[in-house]
Chain A
């Protein structure tokens, strides 16, 4: 690799997380007082290019970061409730279904590392998408690790760290999260 190519690669790496549209969005929704203008905040997110369903409300500006496809990587369904201080890592796709509740301080991650040699354990970056099923409730301060699918109507207890898929209509909790309870699914629901 020539010096020029090296410089250009480095420059691309260094600037891939800069999104003028996101900076403008944060500047505007940062001015809205928290826990007010919840529907307006969601509207502004969808105006900026994220897919946000009707009736979704955001209590505070989510902390968003990610690579080039940032704006395609967030899909939020209808009538969701997203509270303040949520962290959404949009290196890969995060799909949030309908009527989902994200409590304050929830962190959804999509990028991790491969385990590498002992001199440098955090190896190459690994991306995997996360999906949250309809009607799920993520408790305050829980962490969803990359590649996890949270089933419909599932509950993640406060402070849990979820590293495996969560079956629909179950409650998980703890570090790492384990199944604590099987919940009653909807009437007439086959699952």
Chain B
């Protein structure tokens, strides 16, 4: 069962395409829109976070400061235990390895594993 949390009408902020698959215990923090394309596979325990935090206040580094949407392109594959940070766009056909924290945009057709980035552009 995926967990959806967030204020107000949570269901309206999650868009999932066709032929996708989510494994167990996915977590969606739906303060903002999460858009997932077609043919996307998501592994176990993946976290989609949309709540931004502003670290400029030294007395409270984790002050909430709005939210940012997440977009996952068509055909992407996200491995188990990944954490997708607010505002990230994962390109079409990209593969994220297990346990990666995705805090920057991922271009299309990239394999991300640990700290390595491998292009999958020539793979089929």
Contacts and interface: CB of A to CB of B under 8 A. Distances in A.
Given A104-B29, A104-B49, A158 B59 contact: no
Interface residues of B, number: 25
Contacts of A176: none
Nearest to A154: B61
Contact of B59 (A99, A103, A104, A105): A99
Chain B at the A interface: SS class: loop
Interface string A35-68: 1000000000000000000000001000000000
A34 B3 CA distance: 10
B22 interface: no
Given A105-B47, A158-B103, A135 B83 contact: no
Please classify the interface of chain A as helix (H, G, I), strand (E, B), loop, or mixed, using the class held by over half of its residues.
loop
B68 to A, nearest CB: 14
Say which size band chain A's interface belongs to.
Answer: 20 to 34
Contacts of B29: 104
A29 interface: no
Interface stretch (A15-23, A88-96, A112-120, A179-187): A179-187
Q: Please list the 7 inter-chain residue pairs (A to B) with the smallest Cβ-Cβ separation, ordered nearest first.
A: A101-B62, A137-B62, A137-B61, A159-B101, A186-B58, A99-B60, A35-B5
6 contacts: A84-B5, A101-B62, A134-B59, A138-B62, A159-B99, A159-B101
